[in-house]
Amino acid sequence: MHGYLGLVIPVRRVEEPCVLKVSWTDEAASSEAMALAAWNGQGAVRLLASQPALWALLLERLDHRRSLNDVEIVEAVEVASRLLRRLSIPVPSDFRSLRLVTQDLCHTLPQRWEQYGRPMPQRWVEQACELAVQLGTSCGNLLVNYDLHYADVLRGKREPWLVVDPKVVIGDPEFGIAQLLWCRLEDIEAKGGLDRHFRMLIEAATLDPVRARSWTLVRCVDYWLWALSVGLTHDPDRCETIVNWLI
């Protein structure tokens, strides 16, 4: 089994079924073991051992054949939203702060917008930068998995659904919802649209709706430009749909 940034191999520790995950060396991977240790198996895959120097993690084995991608979208949104809230816990300041992330965004968004051919109205980039400054200076101090999407929630035995492959910052839980809208957007639109599912997400995760909309705009503009940089074709269109809905 493999993803874009790692390799996962089924193994056993004595008689216990586990998986060995080896990741590429990057900042997101460096914080994965710390995040899993902080959650201690509550809502997320359990970390059994780690070798930071080898970028290797030993994890409990989940059913990789069954994810929230295969679940009806209304149920998937509710389950993922509750997990997002559950994993948003106070932790020591050993993780990257959302304040630093927003500082980087304010510098790079206009440059990337120019680099990739001005793919969206300039006012959207300016609004994203303004919101990033406002939100970054007042953000919270909770551990947030900003890459919690439906394919990264797998069927478990200890709990029905468990999160894998987290990418985390310290900040607002509202920062972590955008990918739950752009992933499976077509299913969302077919089952009541963005208004309905956004409300469901906010209620299930007990989030601030104004902050959630603002962070989602920032995230969509950022991801839109990133998607163009790596040659994705559908995701920029999804981001455009969401930004149009937000604005």
Using CA atoms, how far apart are residues 246 and 80, in angstroms rounded to an integer? 21
Catalytic choice (63, 70, 104, 147): 147
Using CA atoms, how far apart are residues 25 and 185, in angstroms rounded to an integer? 31
And the tokens for 179? 């990918």
> 13 pairs with which residues across the strands?
16
Q: Name the phi and psi angles at 20, rounded to 5.
A: -105, 120
- DSSP 8-state code for residue 52: G
* Residues contacting 10, CB < 8 A, separation 6+: 1, 17, 18, 19, 61
To the query of whether residue 208 is one of the catalytic residues in this protein, the response is no
Active site members: 147
